[in-house]
Amino acid sequence: MTIRARCRPLVLTFLLALTVAGCSSGPGGGSGSGGKLTVWLAVDAQESWPELVQSTNDRFTKAHPGVKVEVQYQQWTTKNQKLDAVLAGKNVPDVVEMGNSETTNYIVNGAFAALDPAGYDQSDAWLPALADACRANGKTYCVPYYVGARVGIYRTDYFTQAGVPGAPKTYPELLAALDRLKAVQGAQDPNFSALYMPGRYWYAAMAFVKDAGGEIAAKDGDTWKSSLSSPKSVAGLTEWKRLIDTYYVGDRAKDNGDQPGVVGQGHVGVFYGNTWEAGGAADPTVGGDPKLKDKFGTFPFPGPSGKLLPPFLGGSTLAVPAKSTRKDLAADWIKLFTDRQSQQALIAADALPNNTTQLAEVAGGGINGPAAQAAATGGWMTPFAPGWTSVEKSNILPEMLERIATGKASVQDATRDADKRIDEVINER
């Protein structure tokens, strides 16, 4: 499973202005018999839980004889560009997977049909990070699918060699463990990084902002305004900078995109990431070392505040395009793909469920247990602002963090400049 960065081309607003206003469900409404239901899913489903997709299709065709389900798998890097293009025509998919940070602009521009949450299993317990991304003006426009939460991942053998008794539970314990790793492993390996946290890794840095009580941006009435230069946000970034200054050895002008491969080289004690990255560090296809298999443990990453570091809850939702001619059938497929039975299958595949109730079903002793514990805190999400994807596409946060990490700008100056850039696009529709 991967939780990838999600971006939207700026052509969406223009396309929807031309096409969505005149949309209707078309002949046959949405519940006719026979024909085809087209589902767009990201490749994560194909790679990590194909059996769930097949079982959902089997259940659906049993309930709707004669309707064929065609699942088309999409790459995250091109999915939205393709979606924007098809929304300008008549032949749209009936179900589309969206990242929870992608939905707002599509919703405010009328791209998705409203859905009744009462018809979906455990909708009263949906994780806010997913459910809030689906809501606007009192209506629901998508259904939570699954979520991921970052945690601390550590080399158990290095901890043993450094005399660290186990996974840290508090921030002082984390710092003490990093000190020991730096002293013992660092003395043997000049390239050793007690903590791997590259400078442009904004999901990590923003977690420190949230831990300090800061925000990326806040809503004032109907307008969003960046708040990275607020005292609390600056305090969080200052602590993040202190942490990497003390424990990170590596290129500060890079992001975490190749993190599993870097960790797989054997020079890292602790890193912050999604639980699948522990396996990735032992996967030779992404640069990992097979000898590192079963040498990693996970823990909920403690924050300087004394609480767990709030993780970014990146995940997916499922929506029905407003131009679909089979809305009722699309809604029925989504109901099956997200019900309790399907969520149990996702848990078995080391994903986190879409609801708080089933987070308790994730095995506490497994590699994903700490991620479930972190997700239960509520985590944080990027602002549900119409122009947020423009912020991401502009790379404002990584560029700000690189300036801070490399010492080219102070925290105060870099955040002040970033606020100005964010304010220019965050309210775009």
Domains 12-149+314-375 and 151-312+384-425 equal at CATH topology level: yes
Per-residue buried b or exposed e for 103-134, using 16+ beta carbons within 10 Å of the residue's own CB: bbbbbbbbbbbbbebeebbbbeebbebbbbbb
What's the pLDDT score for residue 31?
44
Question: How far is the CA of 277 from the CAs of 50, 78, 264, 322, 372, in angstroms?
Answer: 20, 23, 10, 36, 16
Q: What is the block-wise mean pLDDT of the chain (429 residues), using blocks of 10 residues? A: 37 38 34 80 96 98 97 96 94 97 94 97 96 96 97 98 97 98 97 98 98 97 96 98 98 96 97 94 92 96 97 96 97 98 96 96 92 94 93 97 98 98 95
What's the pLDDT score for residue 5?
38
- Altogether, the residues listed in the chain come to a count of 429
CA 360/CA 122 separation, integer angstroms? 14
DSSP state of 380: B
What's the pLDDT score for residue 17?
37
What's the pLDDT score for residue 239?
98
CA dihedral of residues 24, 27, 28, 31 (deg, nearest 10) = -20
Q: φ, ψ for residue 207 (rounded to 5)? A: -65, -35
* Residue 391 identity (one-letter amino acid): V
CA 341/CA 406 separation, integer angstroms? 48
Total-model pTM: 0.88
CA 285/CA 291 separation, integer angstroms? 14
Question: Domain 151-312+384-425: which CATH class?
Answer: alpha beta
Order of strands across the sheet that contains 68-74: 68-74, 36-42, 95-99, 313-319, 143-149
CA 58/CA 157 separation, integer angstroms? 45
Sign (positive or negative) of CA dihedral 269, 273, 278, 281: negative
What's the pLDDT score for residue 286?
87
pLDDT digits (tens, 9 = 90+) for 227-266: 999 999 999 999 999 999 999 999 999 999 999 999 999 9
CATH of 12-149+314-375, one of 3.40.50.1100, 3.40.50.10800, 3.40.190.10, 3.40.50.300: 3.40.190.10
The domain limits of the chain are 12-149+314-375, 151-312+384-425
